[in-house]
Amino acid sequence: MKTNQKVVIITGASSGMGRATALYLSKQGFIVYAGSRRPEKLFNIESQNLHPIKLDITDSKSIKEAISTLDRVDVLINNAGYGLVSTVEDVTEEEMFHQFNINVFGVLRVCKAVIPTMRSQNSGIIINISSFLGKIGLPLLTFYNASKYAVEGITDSLRYELKDFNIRVHSIMPGFFDTNFARDNLVINKKTFEEDSAYSTLVSTLAPQIIEQINNGNNAIEVAQLILEIIEKDDFVAHQTAGDKAKKFIPMKRELSDEDFERRVIAYYHL
């Protein structure tokens, strides 16, 4: 496939969906700059089309330095993120801030750095990796939920803000994917998970189900393929689900009243 060597930047590319997408797009002919705080984790897949770069989305200077080396940016994929598992009662100020610093402010920092280049080109595509939990809530994941709701809001607003510059903005809302997310990208609040926690029944009921669903989830290549489809179709929809859980829950959320949907979730997860 020929793509006229379009340039792609991916954040959080050292594992999971980011790594799968970097590999997939590079093999399709794109020039991929795979960003990570630890780019050495990508050296084993480095190629003529795939270039690991140091990119810390919590550091504006790091972002600026990474972007400044590129003559153009055709596609930005905001993929970096993690999930905090905590009750609202137990969470610390540091945990709250860090969840939003990565999942929300990181997206905004990278967009802020890349938009001037795209605007000067009068072209570009921004794809935000959100979550189906950016449309529905689950207990213990309040802060992850809220951060992904924010990503959905950023996507909606940027679509208006950037349309006059021929810059498309989209979000992908994955369900549960087998991407080492449960092993590497879930951070737990220790107090919530203590045996004598007031929420111990909720934790023992829900947490094993979520981990099992992640570890037995869809393959990350599905997201990579969807990203390519978004890049190639100028009229692609604003928000797209990926994976079995997202395709089940998001339509259900749209079709049912809030009360009926809540009852379905409670029954499904035995809450």
- CB-CB neighbours of 166 under 10 Å: 14
Assign 3 a pLDDT band (cuts: 50, 70, 90). very low
What pLDDT was estimated at residue 1?
A: 38
What pLDDT was estimated at residue 221?
A: 93
Mean pLDDT, all residues of the chain: 93
Specify which residues 50 forms β-bridges with.
32
**Average pLDDT, integer, range 72-77:** 97
Is 160 marked active-site? Answer: no
Quick check: 12 pLDDT over 60? yes
- CB-CB neighbours of 173 under 10 Å: 26
What pLDDT was estimated at residue 181?
A: 55
| Sign of the dihedral through C-alpha 251, 176, 170, 159 | positive
What pLDDT was estimated at residue 177?
A: 84
Least confident of 47-56, 77-86, 125-134, 180-189: 180-189
Strand residues in 99-255 grouped as ranges (E):
124-129, 167-174, 186-188, 239-242
Kindly name the residue from 26, 130, 131, 197 that is annotated as catalytic: 130
Is 64 marked active-site? Answer: no
Is 130 marked active-site? Answer: yes
Which tokens in the block code for residue 109?
A: 């920092």
Per cent of the chain over pLDDT 90 is: 85
How do residues 34-67 score in pLDDT, each as one tens digit? Answer: 999 998 988 999 999 999 999 999 999 999 999 9
How do residues 177-201 score in pLDDT, each as one tens digit? Answer: 876 655 566 899 999 999 999 999 9
**Average pLDDT, integer, range 68-86:** 95
How do residues 237-268 score in pLDDT, each as one tens digit? Answer: 999 999 988 999 999 999 999 999 999 999 99
- CB-CB neighbours of 195 under 10 Å: 7
What pLDDT was estimated at residue 233?
A: 97
Is 171 marked active-site? Answer: no
What pLDDT was estimated at residue 263?
A: 96
Kindly name the residue from 6, 14, 24, 171 that is annotated as catalytic: 14
Q: Which residue has the higher pLDDT, 155 or 245?
A: 155
Q: Output the CA torsion 171→242→184→147 (10° steps).
A: 40
**Average pLDDT, integer, range 66-85:** 95
What pLDDT was estimated at residue 216?
A: 81
Strand residues in the chain grouped as ranges (E):
7-10, 31-36, 50-54, 75-78, 83-85, 124-129, 167-174, 186-188, 239-242
What pLDDT was estimated at residue 215?
A: 82
Outline where 163-199 has alpha helix (H): 181-184
Domains, the chain, ordered by start: 7-269 (3.40.50.720)
User: What distance in Å separates the CA atoms of residue 167 and residue 219, rounded to the nearest whole number?
Assistant: 29
Kindly name the residue from 62, 148, 171, 197 that is annotated as catalytic: 148
Kindly name the residue from 33, 144, 149, 199 that is annotated as catalytic: 144
User: What distance in Å separates the CA atoms of residue 30 and residue 192, rounded to the nearest whole number?
Assistant: 44
User: What distance in Å separates the CA atoms of residue 227 and residue 172, rounded to the nearest whole number?
Assistant: 8
Helix, strand, coil shares of the chain, percent, nearest 5, are: 50, 15, 30
